[in-house]
Structure 1
Amino acid sequence: MSTSPELPAFPFGDPQGLDVEPQFQRLRSAPGLHRVRLPYGVPAYLAVRHEDVKALLADRRFSRAYSVGPDEPRLLPIVQRANRLNAAEGPEHDRLRRLLAAAFTVRGVERLRPRAERIVADLLDTVEKQGAPADLMELFALPLPILMICELLGVPPADRVRFRALAESFLAAKLHQLTAGQIAGAGQQLRQYLTGLVESSHSDPGDDLLSSLAAEGELSDEELVAIAVTILIAGHEVLADLLANVTYFLLTSPAHHRQLLADPALIGPAVEEMLRYTPLGSSTNNPRRALEDVELGGTLVRAGEYVVPVINSANRDETVFPAAAQVDFSRETNAHLGFGHGLHRCLGSALARLELRTALGALLLRLPGLRLAVPAGEITWCEGGLVRGPLTLPVAW
């Protein structure tokens, strides 16, 4: 753990709702990168401007694979395992991306649209059957992505309640309610289940991603399990929080809500704007480490030093997004970094967009009178910085 008292501590605070730390605006106008200390690991630089974050993520001289380890600047005490998809680089990473690319293209995920529409409709049936007030987080935002991941990975229907419980235990680190040992234990149980799922994909293949990858024979079982864990981490909690955050925004911004009700064709641009505007944690879980001396944003980063890309700040950069603090569903250009950039850009972006557009469109159509069932100030938000979203989202209609 860093003990450098002269460096400012990061995160700068724990903003609530959809706010971002006000310090970012000042830092974006100051020259260079900004040295900070995180709760665990060694000190790091922050890249906060859109130009610098984009350059960092695209520059192979800044390594994600080389960042993983006990010195990695991070929020939680647990030391991350090197992930073959998110942290791999070079020929191995290129091979994995190539094998997965076909399943995650726009055309590839379109085959999941009918199932996504059915899942969304079934979940909204449950919401309406329960009646108001209903917790949209528990009944809609959280189950949607996990059910889509079950479809993608081929989790049998009989196992889906158990799979969701394992997944949520593994991802409960966002609430800081588990010790490092408990997190590791939950991860071990999840990997044991996924190992069995991979074995089933050999003996009883289905029409799912794991069966398809297993049939190609280019990946080991260990690699298939690692891919499944990556898909779960990237596609479950973040997407659930994003869906809840978009809904919260609409229910606290009546003008924007009315705009989408009047013109559903704006749902696509609205999703892109919310990907830009919505803060998802502190973006501190993917630092890069310099493989050599590199100048970035006017700062010389020495070999071995870490740089943290702060997506939340880059997406509010006024030099790229006019009136960046305002939500504009008619924004003409939207070069947001919500899905990252460069070598490790989110492979599942097309699937995430499909889920968000399907869910938002169905919500507006089925529940046009949707509203918060409690004052906005009574919504409790996740604390800790890894991800950002409401713990519950009580609604009426």
Structure 2
Amino acid sequence: MELPTVHPRFPLTGPAESDRDLVGERFRSQGGVVRARLADGTTIWVALSYRLARQVMTDPVFSRAAATRPDSPRSAEGLALPAMLSSLDGEEHVRTQRLIMRAFTPKTVEGMRPWITDVVHDLLDTIAGLPQPVDLVTMFTAPLPARVMCRLFGVPYQDQERFGRWSEMLDSTENPDEVIEAFGLFHAYMRELIVRKRARPGPDLTSELTRLAEETGELTPDEVANNLVMVLGAGIDTTVQQLANSLITLLTERDQYELLCRRPELVDNAVEELLRCLILIPTGTMMRVATRDTELGGWTVRAGEGVVALQHVANRDPDAFTAPDRLDLQRPDAGRHLSFGIGRHFCVGAQLARTEMRIALRELTRRFPAARLAVPAEELRWRDGSLMRGPVTLPVTLT
């Protein structure tokens, strides 16, 4: 049986300013799976339909641990460390996830809501007094998650700027040396922080995770540090870019922004719909490797071959969502999106990211109902060579 066409490059998306993956959508309509070529010439399988993306993310035959091996396919130049939660399978994954989630409980996140709201108010008070237009990346979407994550993990306020810088370096898709340097700096910092928190614990997740790891003996200090880097690094830049992209979309589709201003009770569902509609990571889910021959969309994926699910294409599958290309803040099933993953590798920081975005959008639309882009959307500059899609700056006139 002839194999499906190989697309000449991966990721499939075009310019960063586009919030549609038209190539991926075309292949999705032709069967839901395609093969594509990585920069090093390796061919991988790409799941594009909602059904097949779910299969890739939930079937244990597609292994994250196997993708950490030195000779495994790589969709980006990022690190794939065996000791990180995102790189584990089976019982080892369950054990590590259980420990992290004991420190990262829903009660913990809910308890953060009042001071996240205070941070948002503080940032909005500052930008309200600035000359217009204001760059919302510099003044709002970047400092918000950095402050939240640093307080959550007990990181001193003065270190927030370099944490944000390291998080951005970790997202490089073109400079592996920069990624390695950022991870080394991040890891060394977290090891020192663990030592300090062991001696003088505080009401933060670093102290709690260090205590739990020592009590259970299930994670070494290096493994604790690796996972703290993963959660911190991912928790900062993903929220920075998702919030910035969401604001661009809302301010471009003005009727939806005005709807949110009039009906703030829609904000929870609005966040889900924005997560569904937007492209954040053009390379999709983290690479997985088939551990045995298996079927995917009627094709045979051979053991050792790489497989990726593109959530942003699956989230616009007409077999899963009605009128999927329309932004609808009142969509009743928006929360069925795959943007945080599904199954065992569901994002541990999903609830925190949702909480930050809900508070940020609710308070910004309440405070600045007349906000508008200060330049045409097509003139915005977008980041190059980064795992995360997002604008370099976001000039907005607020009043």
Shared fold, TM over 0.5: yes
Moved more, 204-213 or 66-75: 66-75
* SS of equivalent residue, structure 1 residue 86: helix
Q: Is 1:184 the equivalent of 2:180?
A: yes
Distance 1:126 1:72, change over 3 A: farther
Q: How far apart in 2 are the matches of 1:100 and 1:260?
A: 35
Output the CA distance in 1 between the equivalents of 2:201 and 2:40: 43
State the match for 2:198 in structure 1.
Answer: 202
Matches within 5 A, 1:84-103: 84-103=84-103
Q: Distance in 1 between matches of 2:134 and 2:17?
A: 20
Deviation at 1:20, TM superposition (A): 1.9
| Superposition pairs of residues 97-136 of structure 1, within 5 angstroms | 97-136=97-136
Instruction: Read off the aligned partner of 1:363 and give its amino acid letter.
Output: L
Distance of 2:308 and 2:93 partners within structure 1 = 21
Give the equivalent residue in structure 2 for 1:159. 159
Please, which of 184, 189, 192 is the counterpart of residue 193 of structure 1?
189
Q: Report deviation, 1:44.
A: 0.4
In the TM superposition, residue 283 of structure 1 has moved relative to its aligned partner by 2.9
Residue number in structure 2 paired with 1:358: 359
Q: Could you say which residue in structure 2 is the equivalent of 1:273?
A: 273
Q: Match for residue 381 of structure 2?
A: 380
State percent identity of aligned pairs: 38
Counterparts of 1:332-347 in structure 2, within 5 Å, are 332-334=332-334, 335-347=336-348
* 1:394 is the counterpart of 2:395: yes
Are 2:368 and 1:367 equivalent residues in the alignment? Answer: yes
User: Who is 2:221 aligned against?
Assistant: 221
State the match for 1:30 in structure 2.
30
Distance 2:234 2:247 in 1: 20
Counterpart of 2:176, as a letter, is A
**Residues 1:295 and 2:295 are matched in the alignment:** yes
Q: 1:356 to 1:52 in 2, by over 3 A?
A: same
Q: Which moved more, 1:279-288 or 1:196-205?
A: 279-288
Question: CA–CA distance in 1 between the matches of 2:284 and 2:41?
Answer: 12
Deviation by residue 1:342-388 (Cα, 9 ceiling, x = unmatched) = 12110111111100001011101111111111121210112346211
Secondary structure of 1:236's match?
helix
Q: Structure 1 residues 77 and 165, CA, compared in 2 at 3 Å: closer, same or farther?
A: closer
1:90-138: CA deviation from partner (whole Å, max 9, x where unpaired): 2221111111224434333101111211111111122122231111001
Distance in structure 2 (CA, Å) of the matches to 1:257 and 1:321:
22
Match of 2:141 in 1: 141
Distance 1:166 1:6 in 2: 35
- When structure 1 is superposed on structure 2, of 65-74 and 261-270 the one drifting more is 65-74
Unaligned runs of 5+ in 1: none
Report the equivalent of 1:306: 306
Look up the SS of the partner of 2:251 in the other structure. Answer: helix
State the alpha-carbon separation in 1 of the partners of residues 241 and 376 from structure 2. Answer: 19
Partner of 2:52: 52
- Look up the equivalent residue of 1:157 and give its one-letter code: Y
The CA deviation at 1:86 is: 0.2
Q: Give 1:68's aligned residue.
A: 68
Q: Is the 8 A contact 1:64 1:87 kept in 2?
A: yes
Residue 91 of structure 2 aligns with an amino acid whose one-letter code is: P
Query: C-alpha displacement at 1:7, in angstroms?
Result: 5.2
Most deviating of 149-158 and 338-347: 149-158
CA distance in 1, matches of 2:390, 2:264: 25
8 A contact 1:70–1:79 mirrored in 2? no
In 2, Cα distance between equivalents of 1:314 and 1:66 = 24
Q: Distance in 2 between matches of 1:25 and 1:391?
A: 26
Shift in CA distance, 360/18, structure 1 to aligned 2, threshold 3 Å: farther
Give TM-score, length-normalised by structure 2.
0.92
Q: Quick check: 2:145–2:236 contact (8 Å CA) kept in 1? A: yes
Q: 1:304 to 1:322 in 2, by over 3 A?
A: same
Offset at residue 36 of structure 1 (A): 1.2
Residue 247 of structure 1 deviates from its aligned partner by: 0.7
Secondary structure of the residue that 2:129 maps to in structure 1?
Answer: helix
TM-score of the superposed pair, with normalisation by structure 1 = 0.92
Distance in 2, Cα, partners of 1:284 & 1:94: 23
How far did residue 33 of structure 1 move?
A: 2.6
Matched position secondary structure for 2:147: helix
Q: Identify if the C-alpha distance between structure 1 residues 83 and 383 changes in structure 2 by more than 3 Å, giving closer, same or farther.
A: farther
Show the counterpart of 2:328. 328
Query: In 1, distance between residues paired with 2:165 and 2:288?
Result: 32
What one-letter code is carried by the residue in structure 2 that aligns with 1:192? A
Kept after mapping to 1: 8 A contact 2:137/2:392: yes
CA contact (8 A) 1:239 1:352 kept: yes
